[in-house]
Every structure is written in structure tokens, then in C-alpha cells.
Amino acid sequence: MSEQGVAVRESDVDWEALRAAARGMLERAYVPYSRFPVGVAALVDDGRVVTGCNVENASYGVTLCAECSLVSMLHVTGGGRLVAFTCVDGHGNVLAPCGRCRQLLYEHGGPGLLVETVRGVRPMSEVLPDAFGPVDLVERASADVPAGDAAEEGKGT
């Protein structure tokens, strides 16, 4: 179930079409250094499909991963919540997103986001168990912690 209440079941998703959209992004990847193109595609709760690919940079630390470009496209095209996601390597085979990207996908799809993995389709809650997300920021920010106590324990300024 997405945060907006749109339920999606694994059987509701045309995974082959989603993988085809991800494979279509491989030719757009900019990978002169690693030669490892990655294409991604996701279904949005309003029915749109958003895609992305990796874009490298000579300064590796500022390389844009495929998932980042997908989330950018999500926002550029109207926002919403991701409900199904797949990632493919340069051969078109399913590829698991890295830990950083799992966190990014969790932020924009939540625990119910369906993720195609090498072990089959899994909800994000299994792909990234015990995830830290936007709800944690709200819940933890509202916790009453006296300012003096934190400073005395060396945890404050």
C-alpha cells in the first residue's frame, strides 16, 4: 500500500514491460569510466512509468546513479509514490540496487514498494529491513529531551 492508499500487487505489475523500459535506458547511460551501464524503471501510483540511468563523472564521488535520476524524473514529471521498481545491468539482467539507493527508493516508495530482485519480487520492507525514513524524523523530533540532559552527557552543544 502506498502512502496515498494505492495498493499494488505483484500480479498487477507488467514486470516485463517495466524491465523493457529499464533496458531502454541502458543506451542513454553515460559510463565512460566503469563501462557498467545501469537502467531503471518504476511504476508510480498514478500509473506513470519513470525511468533513469547512471551518469558518471571523472570525479567518481559526484556520479549520478540510475536510481537518483529516476527519483529526479519522478519529481520533474509530477511527483507521486513509487509502487514497483526494477533495475537492470548492461546485459539487461535484474540487478539489486545498492544500499544507498535502497534508502533513496524507500524514501519515495515506502515499505510497500515492490522491488524486483534476483530472488524475485520483494516488498521494500524485506529489501531494506528496519529502514529509517521520513516518519522517523517526525517521531524522533517530537520526543521530549531536555536540552540540559543532552549537553551534560556530552551529546549536545
Q: What is the set of active-site residues? A: 67
- Between CA 102 and CA 127 the distance in angstroms is 8
Q: Residue 66, Cα to own-chain centre: how many angstroms?
A: 9
| All cell numbers assigned to 22 | 529499464
Sort strands 114-117 and 82-88 into parallel, antiparallel or unpaired: parallel
The closest of 7, 157, 27 to 92, measured between CA atoms, is 27
**Residue 116 identity (one-letter amino acid):** E
